[in-house]
Amino acid sequence: MNKKSTRILAYPYLVWMAGFTVIPLLMICYYGLTDRTGAFTLDNILAVASTEHMKALWLSLSLSLISTLICLLISYPLALILRQHHIGKSSFVVFIFILPMWMNFLLRTMAWQTLLEKNGVINSLLSVLRLPPLAIINTPAAIILGMVYNFLPFMVLPIYNVLAKIDDNVMNAARDLGADNVTTLTKILLPLSIPGIISGITMVFVPALTTFVISNLLGGSKILLIGNVIEQEFTRGSNWNLGAGLSMVLMVFILISMTLIAKYDKNGEGTAF
Amino acid sequence: MNQPLIDLVNISKSFDGELILDDLNLSVKENSFVTLLGPSGCGKTTTLRIIGGFVSPDQGRVIFGGEDITRMPPNKRQLNTVFQKYALFTHMNIAENIAFGLKIKGKSKDYIRDKIKYALKLVNLDGFENRSVDSLSGGQQQRIAIARAIVNEPRLLLLDEPLGALDLKLRQDMQYELIRLKNELGITFIYVTHDQEEALTMSDTIVVMNQGYIQQMGTPEQIYNEPENAFVADFIGESNIVDGIMLRDELVEIFGARFACVDKGFGQRTPVDVVIRPEDIDLVKPDDGTLTGVVTHLIFKGVHYEMEVTTDGGFEWLVHSTDMFPVGQEVGIHVDPFDIQIMNKPASEDEEAVGVNE
């Protein structure tokens, strides 16, 4: 195919990107940097400094960080096991992990709500077994649970992808040169899988940071994450300018994680999707 | 010097119910260059992996320097491996790659630095300490893989088709390099390859394997000149393998013609396989030949001409000669007695795989 015709084929994508990525982004920036009358202002961005917003942002950051960490701690050993036993992508185990992703995200989170409720499935079971009830619904713990459950595959897959590409003989070479299993893991496997880890961290951290559905359903109305604040400004408060301004602040954090990806994942090895 | 360094005793191994090695016995002497040669799936790589400790045998023992190491993990064995496709650590630079084994052994910084320098000099890559793995060509990466192995001063170096990924010219250079390294270091080499030329060039001893059995073990000359069965003859170099009848000692009948040979002890009127190398066939005037035929194919190969001569029975003889005979010319075939190799016919297909020496 010659250069000219490939270029023509690219136009629809350019139109798509302009229409659905660039223009919305510019609109967010416009709303974020103006007030209701359309005059330029930085108030919407500086509003993040208010106690209420700082609290929401801080809670969002800490909950998503904790969730990301838990996802990583669960995913790495799992990815290692999948690799070690050459349980490929076609395998049943990987299928089980991806299966929940085929169900609607909202539905899955609502299911957790039903499970965790005061008189929900888990507590009914616990009372039958005469065990104390689990009171984590409407707490940060429930939100973390929801985040870990929903975003776990996004951590497992990039790490597994990177690990699966490591030649068996590279590990054999380490063993051959005298390394025991622990040294092989810390000196060879971990360093080689950093691109996947970074990729996974970003893919979990970014959606966790911006989510409002999980906190709405599992955190009740009392726990406000920054995502909830933004959502409310757009829907209930109908202050689009403030919502857009806060979104821009959040984008800074996302930009940071994207920079991290670009730095560590030069070859795009960790991308799972 | 002539103590056996490694002994494989009655080794058997199956993968997924498929028998890869069957009751294999192999003894390798200290300071020798032994090549395991065979087609893919013959069990040569599995044998190497059993010695390296990456595969444990279902049955049998591995004796290394008099000690049973069958169950010893690879990191405890006093040997090192050069892997297929090098298996370098891409997240480390060259110096770190070479230092890996030494650091684990807790050697001092000065010692490690000197060793790296020495090893790089040995493989002709001085000054490459701070280069990244990705910046090296295939041949250079292979040298680093060798350097990384030999700095640990192993008693035995295992090489798993280390030159397979290199182009022809580089492969030949590396063959000479390996022979030089072997002589300078005085380490025992066990080398795995499917390339018969590589095996003939480098080895003291060649072990020809097929279907999990050792077919023949011997010096390159023995393997080439006196193949013990049709498989070895066919696998090592090119050869004409024809049916013959051993009339009596030192006389064999091929396609109705009688050839003098040097083999004895086959009995009288015994059907045998006769192996004649293409370069051992002399094309002469029709009247002077033992058999007559017509040249049906001619290719110029540089060093020699490759010809096909079809004799009366329709058999096509492969002939290498520096003399050219045009297609269609009638020629006589003459073979010197000592160039005729007589082998017993295998009684069954199984025996063909086992070979006559088992």
Helices in chain B by DSSP H: which ranges?
44-52, 94-104, 109-122, 138-150, 168-185, 196-202, 220-225, 230-235, 349-354
Q: At what angle do helices A240-264 and A23-32 cross, to 10 degrees?
A: 130
Shared-domain flag, residues B126 and B211:
yes
End position of a domain, from candidates B193, B225, B257: B225
Q: Which of A167, A169, A177 sits opposite B101 (nearest CB)?
A: A177
Write the pLDDT tens digit of every residue in B307-337: 999 998 789 999 999 999 999 999 999 999 9
Write the pLDDT tens digit of every residue in A156-175: 989 998 998 999 999 999 99
Shared-domain flag, residues B193 and B331:
no
CB contact under 8 A, A175 and B74: yes
Range of the domain at B270: 230-354
Distance CA B136, CA B291 (A): 56
The strand pairing partners of B216, in sequence order, are: B208
Q: How far is B180 from chain A (nearest CA, A)?
A: 23
Q: What is the DSSP string of B172-219?
A: HHHHHHHHHHHHHHT-EEEEEES-HHHHHHH-SEEEEEETTEEEEEE-
Q: How far is B22 from chain A (nearest CA, A)?
A: 25
CB contact under 8 A, A172 and B89: no
Shared-domain flag, residues B193 and B319:
no
Distance CA A206, CA A147 (A): 11
Shared-domain flag, residues B172 and B234:
no
Q: Which of A176, A188, A192 sits opposite B81 (nearest CB)?
A: A176
What pLDDT sits at residue B126? 93
End position of a domain, from candidates B194, B225, B256: B225
Shared-domain flag, residues B115 and B17:
yes
Shared-domain flag, residues B287 and B335:
yes
Residue in A closest to B152 by C-alpha = A177
Shared-domain flag, residues B210 and B254:
no
Residue B104 touches chain A, beta carbons under 8 Å: yes
Name chain A contacts of B115, Cβ cutoff 8 Å. none
Q: Are the CB atoms for B314 and B258 separated by under 8 Å? A: no
Shared-domain flag, residues B211 and B261:
no
CATH number, position B210 = 3.40.50.300
Name chain A contacts of B73, Cβ cutoff 8 Å. 175
CB proximity list for B319: less than 8 A, separation 6 or greater: B278, B281, B283, B306, B307, B308, B309
> Which structural domains are found in chain A, ordered by start?
47-264 (1.10.3720.10)
The structural domain count of chain B equals: 2
Q: In the 3-class helix/strand/coil scheme, how is B38-90 assigned residue by residue?
A: CCCCCCHHHHHHHHHCCCCCCEEEEEECCEECCCCCHHHCCEEEECCCCCCCC
Residue B149 touches chain A, beta carbons under 8 Å: yes
CA distances from B152 to A5, A29, A178, B162, B328 (A): 57, 61, 9, 18, 62
Distance CA A208, CA A219 (A): 14
Q: Which segments of A75-198 are extended strands (E)? A: none
Name chain A contacts of B84, Cβ cutoff 8 Å. 169
Shared-domain flag, residues B218 and B299:
no
Q: Which of A172, A178, A191 sits opposite B87 (nearest CB)?
A: A172
Shared-domain flag, residues B51 and B134:
yes
End position of a domain, from candidates B208, B225, B242: B225
CB contact under 8 A, B87 and A169: yes
Residue in B closest to A166 by C-alpha = B87
Shared-domain flag, residues B267 and B205:
no
Shared-domain flag, residues B174 and B251:
no
Q: Which of B74, B84, B88 sits opposite A176 (nearest CB)?
A: B74
Distance CA B329, CA B309 (A): 9
CB contact under 8 A, A176 and B100: no
The residue ranges of chain B whose pLDDT is under 50 are 1, 350-358
The position carrying tokens 């973390």 is A144
Amino acid at A27: M
Residue B101 touches chain A, beta carbons under 8 Å: yes
CATH number, position B281 = 2.40.50.140
Residue B87 touches chain A, beta carbons under 8 Å: yes
The residue ranges of chain A whose pLDDT is under 70 are 1-2, 86-91, 93-94, 261, 264-273
